[in-house]
């Protein structure tokens, strides 16, 4: 199971890349490669992670500059080949800016940066990212963002609902004002996932909560199957 090969893209301003690597390499024992944003070689990787942080200082908009990084063309090719892509927090913002996921992440409703542990409900347990969670799970995961309010037009929201692309919702309500309490969505294939909560910050057994570790175990389970 430890044979899943992870790549973690590092942008100027990324600050959760080592957190993810600590989980994938340190806790799960999986081969893990840090990929500088100017690199274009993603060969041999199963899962490519866009981590949290402030890529390019979040100038213009969160993720707006990162979408043009050289690595992003290779990331789109990786996804087109059937590879898995995970965007956490700033990574979720980058995925929407790059058009790999619909909608946008905008300023929190109260205009404040929110750093807290919040309730997250798992809406789908049949995905490679969630299969290790019991049906109907409500988790406690950290969030840390100033522009995490998910928004989209009514037609897009209906498509997300009808196609089962809403993977995580805030429970009971979104602290940032996200439409339909959305905390994470996937593409129609389920292989590309973006979420605002940080499962990598709730995985280490030395931390107060470990609700994030089944998230990473789900990926191993999926590839083992």
**Distance (Å, whole) CA 214 – CA 210:** 8
Residues 95 and 105: beta-carbon distance below 8 Å = no
Phi/psi for 106 (5° steps) reads: -125, 180
Q: How many CB atoms lie within 10 A of CB 215?
A: 26
Q: Please list, residue by residue across 137-153, b when 16 or more beta carbons sit within 10 angstroms of its beta carbon and e when fewer do.
A: eebbbbbbbbbbbbebe
Q: How many CB atoms lie within 10 A of CB 203?
A: 25
Question: Among this protein's residues, is 89 annotated catalytic?
Answer: yes
Closest CA to 118 of 167, 160, 168, 53: 168
Q: Which of 16, 89, 152, 186 is catalytic?
A: 89
Site of tokens 């309010």: 149
Q: Which of 37, 78, 145, 198 is catalytic?
A: 198
**Distance (Å, whole) CA 148 – CA 175:** 9
* Gyration radius (Cα) of the chain, Å: 16
**Distance (Å, whole) CA 178 – CA 152:** 10
Residues 95 and 194: beta-carbon distance below 8 Å = yes
As annotated, the active-site residues are 89, 198, 200
């Amino acid at each position: 199971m430890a044979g899943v090969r992870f790549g973690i893209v590092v942008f100027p301003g990324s600050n959760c890349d080592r957190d993810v690597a600590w989980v994938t390499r340190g806790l799960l024992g999986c081969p893990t490669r840090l990929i500088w944003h100017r690199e274009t070689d993603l060969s041999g990787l199963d899962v490519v992670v866009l981590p949290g942080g402030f890529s390019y200082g979040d100038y213009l908009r969160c993720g707006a500059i990162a979408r043009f990084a050289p690595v992003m063309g290779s990331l789109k090719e990786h996804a087109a080949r059937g590879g898995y892509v995970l965007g956490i927090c700033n990574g979720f913002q980058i995925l929407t800016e790059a058009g790999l996921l619909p909608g946008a992440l905008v300023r929190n409703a109260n205009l404040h940066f929110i750093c807290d542990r919040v309730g997250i409900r798992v809406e789908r347990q049949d995905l490679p990212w969630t299969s290790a969670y019991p049906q109907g799970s409500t988790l406690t995961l950290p969030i840390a963002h100033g522009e995490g309010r998910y928004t989209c037009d009514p037609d897009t929201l209906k498509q997300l609902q009808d196609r089962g692309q809403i993977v995580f919702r805030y429970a009971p309500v979104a602290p940032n004002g996200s439409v339909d309490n959305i905390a994470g969505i996937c593409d129609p294939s389920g292989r590309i996932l973006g979420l605002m909560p940080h499962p990598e910050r709730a995985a280490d057994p030395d931390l107060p909560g470990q609700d994030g570790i089944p998230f990473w175990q789900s990926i191993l389970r999926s590839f083992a199957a």
